Amino acid sequence: MISSFDTIYTVLLFLAIYFQVFFLFVFFENKEELEKKLSSLDESRLPSVSFIIPCFDEENTVCRTLESILKLDYPNSLLKIIVVDDGSQDNTWQSLSVYKSHPQITLKKQSNRGKAEALNNGLKEVTTDLVVSFDADTEIRVNALKEIVNKFVVDEKIMAIGGTVLIQNPKTMIQKAQSIEYKMFSFTKKMLGLMGAVLVVPGAFSVFRREVFDIVGGYKNAHNLEDVEMTLRMQKHGLKVDHCHTAFVLTKGPESMKKLFRQRLRWCCGFIENLKDYKYMLFNKKYGDFGFFTLPLNLFSYIMIIFVFFLGLYKISLFFQEKITEFLLVGFTNFDLININWFFIDVRVSSLLSIVMLMFILIGIILGKKTSRASMSLWSVVCFIFIYSFLAPLWILRSMYNSILSVKTSWR
């Protein structure tokens, strides 16, 4: 049985390493472009921009979000902000009232109908060239908008660009682990952007040409993952989607294990359900690298994580079974729980590939740090490896269970 497991594991490891090597090739092929600074634009060429900020119970964060946008290095005359209160039950609306006379800000209120409907409500007010989807618990760096706008001006074919989301001042172990994950996202999303195969322009910070919504329509609830579904729809229509690794926003991130689990369960369930809706794009040459690389890669990552999880449990159970048998045979005096003998080091192909894969994960973390241009601590890396090794299989398994039994996943 274990030899069969090892054979499957070896094949999966080979595929995982293949994906990592492919990302490295893309990185080194475009290294100069990634490091190149875009030239500043004449103010007369800058497009007008509207931020749409849906919010629900964000009384403690929404004002800081608005202030960060108002401080952007961008002409006030070209910048509008539309805030849609999605039926908040706290004092969000009262907090927003201080901006009711602000010339750049429009405040709207609706009954609680979800983020997608709040975004669509905001779209009704848009008259600008570009539209930004932005979260109410996120703060934007002063040059982030210009970084993305430059790319729209330089390449008229680009229809949407996602920004880089980082964890702001991570304090708990959970947040420190997420800080590493988000840096890795910065790297992988940029590599997919260079391939024209971005999976998602994040709801926390994404910029669209206004005509995108005339072509593909407005937002959908999309199993509580409207940003992924919108990107899938854009890829379906052949629209060019990119990622800007130099446009940074900061978000808090879940601070507890329970909140992280619920967030990722929603993400996983949303991805699985949206993939079911757009399954015809999987391995379809009509959709290029998106259909042949991005979607298979994400599906494969789920399979890999679950297989490694169960293989690990199986090998741990064998280890303890062996030790219990040894204890019953030789007793406590001659019993060794851990007996290290370098002669018996496992040199099978699967074990060697596991070491190679671990090295590639560490390389991915380093390249994530490079592309996100952010600091990183060794403790955060340790938190990421241990916390995600245990939690990720659990939220994937639960999302598969929910999908199979059609269990609805709540937003919070």
Over the stretch 137-156, which tens digit does the pLDDT of each residue have?
999 999 999 999 999 999 99
| The pLDDT value given to residue 342 | 47
Per the confidence metrics, is the pTM higher than 0.95? no
CB environment 201-222: b (16+ within 10 A), e (fewer): bbbbbbbbbbebbeebeebbeb
Residue 221 resides in a domain:
yes
Read off the pLDDT of each residue in 256-272 and give the average, rounded to a whole number.
95
| The pLDDT value given to residue 355 | 86
| The pLDDT value given to residue 343 | 43
Q: Which of 160, 130, 170 is nearest to 228 (CA)?
A: 160
Most confident among 71-80, 346-355, 365-374 (mean pLDDT): 71-80
Same domain, 250 and 366: no
pLDDT at 96 over 50: yes
| The pLDDT value given to residue 34 | 83
* HSE-CB of 301 using CA atoms within 13 angstroms: 14
Residue 319 resides in a domain:
yes
Contact 184, 371 (CB under 8 A): no
pLDDT at 175 over 80: yes
Residue 184 resides in a domain:
yes
Residue 335 resides in a domain:
yes
Query: What is the domain range of residue 333?
Result: 2-26+291-404
Q: Could you tell me the pLDDT band of residue 19, with boundaries at 50, 70 and 90?
A: very high
Percentage of residues of the chain with pLDDT beyond 90 = 77
Percentage of residues of the chain with pLDDT beyond 70 = 93
What CA–CA distance (Å, rounded) separates 178 from 368? 12
Same domain, 342 and 392: yes
What CA–CA distance (Å, rounded) separates 144 from 155? 17
pLDDT at 338 over 70: no
Where is the domain boundary, 199, 229, 254?
254
The number of folded domains in the chain is 2
Residue 132 resides in a domain:
yes
329 token code pair = 């045979």
Read off the pLDDT of each residue in 76-81 and give the average, rounded to a whole number.
97
Residue 270 resides in a domain:
no
295 token code pair = 């979607």
Contact 294, 192 (CB under 8 A): yes
Same domain, 247 and 342: no
Mean pLDDT of the chain: 91
Contact 251, 198 (CB under 8 A): no
| The pLDDT value given to residue 344 | 45
| The pLDDT value given to residue 7 | 84
| The pLDDT value given to residue 35 | 79
Q: How many residues does the chain have?
A: 412
Read off the pLDDT of each residue in 284-301 and give the average, rounded to a whole number.
95
What CA–CA distance (Å, rounded) separates 12 from 31? 29
Read off the pLDDT of each residue in 166-171 and give the average, rounded to a whole number.
94
Same domain, 123 and 155: yes
Same domain, 86 and 210: yes
Read off the pLDDT of each residue in 84-93 and give the average, rounded to a whole number.
96
pLDDT at 329 over 90: no
Same domain, 228 and 101: yes
Q: Could you tell me the pLDDT band of residue 107, with boundaries at 50, 70 and 90?
A: very high
| The pLDDT value given to residue 2 | 53
Residue 392 resides in a domain:
yes
| The pLDDT value given to residue 140 | 98
Q: What is the CATH number of the domain that holds 188?
A: 3.90.550.10
Same domain, 345 and 380: yes
Render 160-221 in DSSP notation, one character per residue: EEEEEEEESS--SHHHHHHHHHHHHHHHHHHHHHHTT--S---TTEEEEETTHHHHH-S---
Same domain, 198 and 296: no
Same domain, 17 and 106: no
Q: What are 200-244's pLDDT values in tens digits?
A: 999 999 999 999 999 999 999 999 999 999 999 999 999 999 999
Same domain, 7 and 98: no
Read off the pLDDT of each residue in 33-40 and give the average, rounded to a whole number.
75
Same domain, 371 and 326: yes
Residue 67 resides in a domain:
yes
pLDDT at 43 over 90: no
Same domain, 355 and 227: no
